[in-house]
Structure 1
Amino acid sequence: MDKVERHHLLCLGLNQTYERKNHDYGDSFAKVREVVPNAILVRLMDKMERIKTLLTNGENNRVTDEKVEDTLLDMANYCLMEVVERYSEKENEQANSRQE
């Protein structure tokens, strides 16, 4: 498998994860952003700290089923979620301005 194919599969996987989690969590990311507009910073900081712990402690972690790649994919999905929310906000603003 070449890198472009791998990238495509990873993006498909991110989309499937987003769909499942967004369903199960009830669109919580969007809801948190309404209260804390810069919530993405907290989410990404959590993931950065997780990566640092995974890379620093290696096999001494108590959560043994999470890999660096899992956390990186989580970060990628959070970044995409933020972009999705920003696009949605712009679309809503445009729709509202047309109605006025």
Structure 2
Amino acid sequence: MDRNMQFRSITDEMANLYDRKNSDYGNSFDRSIDQFGLVASAVRLGDKYNRFSQLINANQQVKDESIRDTLIDLANYAVMTILWLDEKGEVVNEESYRL
């Protein structure tokens, strides 16, 4: 499989995971940002980054979550934040951008 096809395969996997989790949890991600501002996204991205860092530094596997799973989640949270920004037209109260 060439790199472009592999990329599309991964983004399809991300979309399927997004669909499944939104079905299970509803759109709690957007509701969190609406309530707390973009700091809510930063916290979730930070949690996944910290998990990734822990996995690579300890060279260990966490039960039910691989490095790959963590990176898929991290990428999905980034895309979900872009979706939120696009929906708001990037005209977001300045307070929403503060950490």
Same fold, judged at TM 0.5 (above): yes
How large is the Cα RMSD of the aligned pairs? Answer: 1.7
Structure 1: 4+ residue segments shifted above 2 A: none
Alignment partner, residue 45 of structure 1: 46
Alignment partner, residue 80 of structure 2: 81
In the alignment, structure 1 segments of 5+ residues that lack a partner are 94-100
Of structures 1 and 2, the one scoring higher in RCO (CA 8 A, sep 6+) is: 2
Taking the TM superposition and a 5 Å limit, the aligned residue runs for 1:2-21 are: 2-21=2-21
Render the CA deviation track for 1:16-75: whole Å, top value 9, x for unaligned.
11111112111000110111111111011101110111011123x5x3331111111111
Percent sequence identity is 34
TM-score by length of 1: 0.82
Taking the TM superposition and a 5 Å limit, the aligned residue runs for 1:21-100 are: 21-38=21-38, 39-59=40-60, 63-90=62-89
Task: Report the Cα distance in structure 1 between the residues aligned to 2:63 and 2:20, rounded to whole angstroms.
Answer: 23
Count of aligned positions: 90
TM-score by length of 2: 0.83
Counterpart of 1:22 in structure 2: which amino acid?
N
In the alignment, structure 2 segments of 5+ residues that lack a partner are 93-99
More helix by share: 1
